Each structure stands twice: as structure tokens, then as C-alpha cells.
């Protein structure tokens, strides 16, 4: 028994924990959990031996004839679920890795253990580390009826007229307010709006409170650009696997606290028609030694933008692999309804300091060495973070290895450039559909290698099937557009 195992037992006993949520992710990025009575961790061998489960029931993991798998906990990830105080339901959550039957070998279908941990270990062996700071946006709605979607001319009962012409929004429950008539935030005007227009402040405050109790420290939070209900909370940067774990804690807390209010938190990239969508800009930097203690390999105080040559090559790698990365970073059909002009989404493959119209941005708030980083803007919160983060880093490292020149930074608003100007500057575009992105992933050997053959094949199969389902579905828009043809 290790000291870490003793610590887990002590925490569970001291806090009178009754149930432990055992967590991992499937290939698509869905959080998977199952509950184990805490006594199995305190008195039994769950910490050492893990728990067996049916891998055939997890999308993309195993076929039925070889479905026995073992989940083993990572003791460092134990967290008390702080909003559950009932002594019968007192719960902790702990992340783990997935092993093949027998519990000896990591399973090649596990995004956390096989993909993200492997790259993190490889970097550590080279004396390096990465830190990641994702900006995760999402929406909270008071209710959501797919057959009555405001801002959708095709399914709204009044055809988008009158009172129905407005997005789903979270409204206070106060009786003196008439929902839909007070404190309306117009589309694209939600950024940094204060109360009472922003009705999500108390929810965000609660979310920050509980996230910090679970070890996810929030730097700041605010209402986002879209109309009522779009929010963003940014947590302090951390290493590769911890950032993936924090992503899921963030989602887990956001959804549960919204449900406690009778609301719905959704990380669907674009839930609203004709308004801004939710992205996930990922800040990242490469370090020699431990983050913030060693040397930031992206920093060069003599450079006009504070960037080292390694950082520029890293950017070159991101741009080189951007089209393939998009399949992992924007992995849903809905993702590509975000990647369109006019809504601040990155669609052009270029880089720039401080320029939010570029795919890769170099934040210019501070030029001190510890703050130098790059921001990859081509991801959204529907992704599997273990896969997306690892693939981004692999692309950047490939740029350093091959010394890929990113070209000159684009200092203009790329959205305003003519097609001829973009062509002259060598600015390409991200894929416009999930199918296009999958085709690029299928030809990118660097990204395929870091995923491993099993995850690559399973991801492609799942997503091609998803695309085919979408192509076959007849939408309300099609009836409205073509019934009288």
C-alpha cells in the first residue's frame, strides 16, 4: 500500500464519504462514471486492484467478445463533491485509467491513460512540461424544447414573429419580472454585461465557489458575447492530464449546479441561430523543467513579440496540422456551424500577436517571460480534452522538430481581407464540415501516431457514422425551403 493510497482512505473516512464516483472518458469525450461504496476503497482493494467493467458498452472501446476491462484510480485526483451534504449521499469523485483484462497493461482505447499520459510522460523524460489554460464557454438555459426553438424561423410556433423572436434565456424567478420582457440582452451584445441584465452572476459565483473547493482555481468569469445565458469561467493553467481532468470537473460542476436551479447547462458549440457560439481557446506553453519553476521555452525578451524561435516553430506546427486538428478539436456536426464568418470564430489558418481574427494568437497583455504563451482558437467544448490537448501539443512539437516556419504574422483583420489578399498571403481555411475535417485527419500521420491506431480507427468510425446520420436527416429548414418547389 502506497502513501497516496493511505491518503485516499484517510480523506474518505475523515469526510464520511459514502459513495465514490469512478470517472473516465469515452473516445467521443463524454464523461463516464460509476459508483462504488466508499468502504470498497477504505476496507477493500479497489485502490490497488481497480474495478472491472464492460468495455463493450463504452462507445469505441471494445467488442463484446473481449469486453472485460479494469478501471484503476489515480489517487491524486480524489475530490469531494462539495454541494452534496446529505450524509446518505456524501460523494467523492476520482479519475482513473483504463487497463486491459488482468489490470497489467494500459488499454489503447483510453484517451487519458494511453494518449494524454503517454505524451506527458515522454515530455517529462526529456525534462520538459507543458501548461494549458483552456477558456471554456457554455450556455445556461432556463428550459430547452427542441420543437420550439426561439431564433429559429422553422420550428417556432409563431414563425419567429412577435414574442417568440428571441433566444432561450435564463430569467430570474422573481414574480415582479415578466420573463421575456425585462433585461433582454440583444444578440452579440452580451460581453461583460453587468447585473441585472446578466442574470447568471449568482450561478457563476456558486460555480467558482465549488470549483475552487475541488481544486480548480478560477482566474475570472463573465457573461460572454452571445445573448442571455452564455458564460465563461477561466481556470488557472496546469499540466496536460490535470487540465483534462479539470475540464471534466468544470463540466460536471456546471451541469449539476445548473440542474439544482432547474436550468440546463449545455456545452453544445452553437445552440442559438444567428448569435455567437461557444468556443474553447487553449493557451499553451512549453517549459524546461516544471511549469513556472523552470524556463519558459516560448519566451525571448529580445523578440518584438517576446517569442522564442521554438515558439514560432511550434506555431508553424499548429498551422501545418490545423485541418487535421479540427476533427479532434471541433468533433461534432454542430461545431462547424460555429466555424463561419461573422461570429468571431477562427476560420483562417494564420497567426498574429493580439489579433483575434487569426487561428493562433499570441496574447500581448504582458511580456514578462512567465506570461508568454500562444493561444490556439480552433477548439470548442464538445471535444475530448485528453485527445484535443495532446494532438495540439504533438502538432506544435512536430513544428519544433521539423523547424516549420509559420510565416509572417498577419497584422490586419483577416475577416476584412479579400479572397485575393488571403491567397497572396497564403492564408488557408479550416474545414467547413465534420466530413472534410475527418478526411484531413485521415491523411495526417503525426496526429494519427499520437492517438494510436485503435483510437484513430474508432474515432473515425464513430464520427463518419455521425456524419452519415446527419446527412440522412430531413430538417425543418428543408421542408420550409423546398415543400413548394
For 387-401, the pLDDT digits (tens) are 999 999 999 999 999
Is 202 annotated to bind a ligand? Reply is no
- Could you tell me the pTM of the whole model? 0.92
Q: Give every CB contact of residue 237 below 8 A, 6+ residues apart in sequence.
A: 131, 132, 133, 243, 283, 291
Greatest mean pLDDT among 100-109, 143-152, 175-184, 240-249: 240-249
Choosing from 74, 110, 135, 300, the catalytic residue is 135
The CATH number of the domain holding residue 231 is 3.30.590.10
Count of domains forming the chain: 2
- Grid cell, residue 41, equals 476503497
Would you call 480 helix, strand, or coil by DSSP?
Answer: helix
Q: Looking at residue 161, what is its pLDDT?
A: 32
Q: What CATH number is attached to the domain comprising 16? A: 3.10.20.70
Distance CA 320, CA 401 (A): 13
Identify the pLDDT of residue 182. Answer: 53
CB of 392 closer than 8 Å to CB of 285: no
Residues 30 and 99 grouped into a single domain: yes
Separation of alpha carbons 149 and 461, rounded Å: 31
Query: What are the grid coordinates assigned to 31, written together?
Result: 464523461
| Structural domain contains residue 120 | no
Number of Cα atoms under 13 Å in the Cβ half of residue 445: 0
Which helix (DSSP H) or strand (DSSP E) does residue 240 occupy? helix 240-260
Q: Within this chain, do residues 366 and 244 fall inside the same structural domain, yes or no?
A: yes
Q: Do residues 266 and 141 lie in contact, with contact meaning Cβ atoms separated by under 8 Å?
A: yes
pLDDT at 183: 62
Return the CA Rg of the chain.
23
Question: Could you confirm whether 398 is annotated as catalytic?
Answer: no
Selected catalytic residue, list 270, 377, 435, 440: 377
What pLDDT shows up at residue 154?
59
- Residue 304 annotated among the catalytic residues of the structure: no
206 appears as a binding residue in the annotation: no
Among residues 108, 356, 405, 466, which one is catalytic?
356
Catalytic member of 74, 97, 100, 137 = 137
Domain presence at residue 340: yes
Annotated catalytic, 290?
no
Go through 185-209 and write b for each residue having 16 or more CB atoms within 10 A of its CB, e for each that does not.
bebeebeebeeeebbbbebbebbbe
Query: Which pLDDT does position 168 carry in this prediction?
Result: 44
Q: Which of 80, 109, 138 is the last residue before a domain boundary? A: 109
How distant, in Å, are the alpha carbons of 18, 82, 287, 350 from that of 86?
Answer: 10, 11, 43, 52
Q: Which of 79, 221, 281, 435 is catalytic?
A: 281
| Interval 5-18: pLDDT, tens | 779 999 999 999 99
Q: Is 321 annotated as a binding residue?
A: no
Alpha carbon distance 384, 423 (integer Å): 33
Q: Was 283 annotated as part of a binding site?
A: yes
- Is 135 annotated to bind a ligand? Reply is yes
Q: Would the CA dihedral through 460, 466, 472, 474 be positive or negative?
A: negative
Count, residues in the chain: 485
Does 202 qualify as catalytic in the annotation? no
Residue span of the structural domain in which 44 resides: 8-109
Domain contains 118: no
Catalytic hit among 97, 110, 152, 224 = 224
Domain assignment present for 65: yes
CA angle 203, 204, 210 (to 5 degrees): 95
Mean pLDDT, rounded, for 49-73: 92
432 lies in a domain? yes
Q: Is 281 a catalytic residue?
A: yes
Residue that wins the pLDDT comparison between 259 and 227? 259
Tell whether 79 and 139 lie within a shared domain. Answer: no
Q: What sign for the dihedral angle of Cα 403, 295, 238, 25?
A: positive
| Averaged pLDDT of the chain | 89
Supply angle C-alpha 393, 441, 430, rounded to 5. Answer: 80
The residue out of 42, 75, 109 marking a domain boundary is 109
Q: Is 478 annotated as a binding residue?
A: no
**Contacts of residue 412, Cβ cutoff 8 Å, sequence gap at least 6:** 355
From the CB of residue 305, how many other CB atoms can be counted at a distance below 10 Å? 15
Q: Is 9 a catalytic residue?
A: no
Give CA angle at 482 (479, 485), nearest 5°: 140
Q: Cα(12)–Cα(24) distance, rounded to whole angstroms?
A: 20
Dist CA 457 CA 463 (whole Å)? 10
Look at phi and psi of residue 292 and say left if phi exceeds 0, alpha if psi is from -120 to 50, else beta.
Answer: left
User: Which helix (H) or strand (E) segment is 436 a member of?
Assistant: helix 434-441
The string of pLDDT tens digits covering residues 196-208 is 888 899 999 999 9
Whether 375 is a known active-site residue: answer yes
Q: Is 344 annotated as a binding residue?
A: yes
Say if CB 245 and CB 125 are below 8 A apart.
Answer: no
Active site residue 270: no
Is residue 437 domain-shared with residue 377, that is, in the same domain? yes
Determine if residue 312 is labeled as part of a ligand binding site: no
For the stretch 114-171, pLDDT in tens is 999 999 999 999 999 999 999 999 999 987 777 666 555 556 554 433 333 334 444 3
Q: Establish whether 104 is an annotated binding residue.
A: no
Q: Examine the residue annotation and report whether 48 is marked as an active-site residue of this protein.
A: no
Tens digit of each residue's pLDDT (9 = 90 or more) over 236-291: 999 999 999 999 999 999 999 999 999 999 999 998 887 888 999 999 999 999 87
Same domain, 81 and 174: no
Amino acid at each position: 500500500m502506497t502513501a497516496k493510497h493511505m491518503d485516499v482512505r484517510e480523506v474518505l473516512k475523515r469526510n464520511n464519504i459514502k459513495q465514490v464516483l469512478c470517472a473516465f472518458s469515452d473516445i467521443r469525450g463524454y464523461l463516464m462514471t460509476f459508483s462504488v461504496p466508499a468502504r470498497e476503497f477504505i476496507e477493500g482493494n479497489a485502490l490497488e486492484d481497480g474495478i472491472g467493467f464492460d468495455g463493450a458498452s463504452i462507445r469505441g472501446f471494445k467488442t463484446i467478445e473481449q469486453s472485460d476491462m479494469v478501471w484503476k484510480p489515480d489517487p491524486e485526483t480524489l475530490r469531494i463533491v462539495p454541494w452534496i451534504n446529505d450524509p446518505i449521499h456524501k460523494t467523492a469523485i476520482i479519475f482513473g485509467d483504463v487497463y486491459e483484462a488482468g489490470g497489467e497493461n494500459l488499454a489503447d482505447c483510453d484517451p487519458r491513460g494511453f494518449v494524454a499520459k503517454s505524451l506527458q510522460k515522454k515530455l517529462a523524460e526529456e525534462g520538459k512540461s507543458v501548461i494549458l489554460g483552456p477558456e471554456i464557454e457554455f450556455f445556461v438555459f432556463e428550459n430547452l424544447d427542441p420543437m420550439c426553438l426561439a431564433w429559429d424561423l422553422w420550428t417556432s410556433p409563431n414563425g419567429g414573429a412577435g414574442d417568440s423572436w428571441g433566444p432561450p434565456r435564463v430569467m430570474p424567478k422573481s414574480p415582479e419580472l415578466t420573463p421575456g420582457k425585462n433585461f433582454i440582452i440583444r444578440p452579440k451584445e452580451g460581453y461583460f454585461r453587468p447585473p441585472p441584465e446578466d442574470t447568471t452572476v449568482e450561478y457563476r459565483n456558486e460555480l467558482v465557489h465549488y470549483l475552487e473547493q475541488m481544486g480548480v482555481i478560477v482566474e475570472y468569469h463573465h457573461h460572454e458575447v452571445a445573448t442571455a445565458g452564455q458564460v465563461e469561467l477561466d481556470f488557472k493553467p496546469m499540466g496536460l492530464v490535470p487540465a483534462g481532468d479539470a475540464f471534466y470537473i468544470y463540466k460536471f460542476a456546471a451541469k449539476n449546479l445548473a440542474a439544482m436551479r432547474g436550468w440546463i447547462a449545455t456545452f453544445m458549440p452553437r445552440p442559438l441561430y444567428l448569435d455567437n457560439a461557444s468556443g474553447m481557446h487553449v493557451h499553451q506553453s512549453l517549459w524546461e523543467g516544471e511549469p513556472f519553476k523552470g524556463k519558459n521555452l516560448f519566451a525571448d525578451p529580445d523578440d518584438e513579440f517576446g517569442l522564442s524561435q521554438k515558439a514560432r516553430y511550434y506555431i508553424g506546427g499548429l498551422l501545418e496540422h490545423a485541418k487535421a486538428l479540427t476533427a479532434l478539436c471541433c468533433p461534432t456536426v454542430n461545431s462547424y456551424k460555429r466555424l463561419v464568418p461573422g461570429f468571431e470564430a477562427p476560420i483562417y489558418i494564420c497567426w498574429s500577436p493580439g489579433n483575434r481574427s487569426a487561428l493562433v494568437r499570441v496574447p500581448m497583455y504582458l511580456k514578462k517571460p512567465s506570461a508568454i504563451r500562444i493561444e490556439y482558437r480552433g477548439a470548442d467544448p464538445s471535444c475530448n480534452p485528453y485527445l484535443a490537448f495532446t494532438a495540439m501539443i504533438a502538432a506544435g512539437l512536430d513544428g519544433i522538430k521539423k523547424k516549420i516556419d509559420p510565416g509572417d504574422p498577419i497584422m490586419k483583420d483577416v475577416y476584412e481581407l479579400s479572397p485575393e489578399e488571403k491567397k497572396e498571403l497564403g492564408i488557408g481555411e479550416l474545414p467547413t464540415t465534420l466530413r472534410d475535417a475527418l478526411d484531413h485527419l485521415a491523411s495526417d500521420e503525426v496526429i494519427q501516431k499520437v492517438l494510436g491506431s485503435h483510437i484513430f480507427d474508432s474515432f473515425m468510425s464513430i464520427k463518419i457514422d455521425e456524419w452519415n446520420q446527419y446527412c440522412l436527416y430531413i430538417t425543418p429548414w428543408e421542408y420550409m425551403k423546398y415543400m413548394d418547389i
